[in-house]
Amino acid sequence: MLNARKGIAAVLASMLASGPAPVAAHPHIFIDTGLEIIFDAEGRLTHVKVTWNYDDLYSLLLAEDYKVDADGDGSLTPEERKELTGFDADWVQGYAGDLEAVLDGQILKLTRPIEPTADMVDGRIISTHLREVVGAPILSGDPISFKAFDPTYYTAYDMTLPVTVTGRDDCKILRIEPDIDGQLAQMQAQLLTLDANADLEENDIPLIGGDFATDIRITCPAL
């Protein structure tokens, strides 16, 4: 959610400083992610439900900020749950929710989050929200791609939670894992063409978060 160009500049600066040695980008927040792809009775893709399970450290920081889990038992009271709900669903204008859906080469428009929930399980904060798919397309054999990623790679989304389809039982789910080492090597090669004192924000350096994202492809036959 931080400024995209500044976020990527910080990551790339650390890579550039490393010279020819092996490099790695370092996200600051880690989120286990799950998706529920929802179809209506007519087979239209209407909603995507997103689950975010925050890492231990960031969960601790959030708990301190929102003054929940004061007893440190790793769970929330009903009052604390109510207080926390929606903490990550009040998005700034233009924020895409770190989720991209692509069908037939076109990025689908998703609405802002609705019906948010929040809880803490074993000390980790977990939230969900629902997003409507504008236009409610009908899938007819062509795959739809879902990627959860922060373009700046400040936040790392790991698709470790379930990915499910609701409303249709004839769809197939394919996971395509990213070639992280290959992407980093390609990025380092590009960076090594720059001067060590180059201002990365002024150079045409692409955002890299999507290159490190698991590609979830849902294919449903024509009805």
Residue 155 or residue 197, greater confidence: 155
pLDDT bracket for residue 108 (50, 70, 90): very high
Residue 2 pLDDT level (bands cut at 50, 70, 90) = very low
* Lowest-pLDDT range of 29-43, 49-63, 180-194: 180-194
Backbone conformation region of residue 105, classed left if phi is above 0, alpha if psi is from -120 to 50, else beta: left
Rounded alpha-carbon distances, angstroms, from residue 36 to 17, 46, 51, 152, 216: 40, 11, 8, 25, 11
Q: Is the pLDDT of residue 193 over 90?
A: no
Residue 25 clears pLDDT 60, i.e. is over it: no
Q: What is the pLDDT of residue 9?
A: 44
Averaged pLDDT for residues 85-111: 97
- Residue ranges of domains in the chain: 4-219
pLDDT of amino acid 51: 99
Cα-Cα-Cα-Cα dihedral sign, residues 11, 12, 17, 22: positive
- Residue 153: predicted pLDDT: 82
Global model pTM greater than 0.85: no
The better pLDDT of the pair 203, 73 is held by 73
Mean pLDDT of 37-49: 97
pLDDT-derived band at 166, boundaries 50, 70, 90: very high
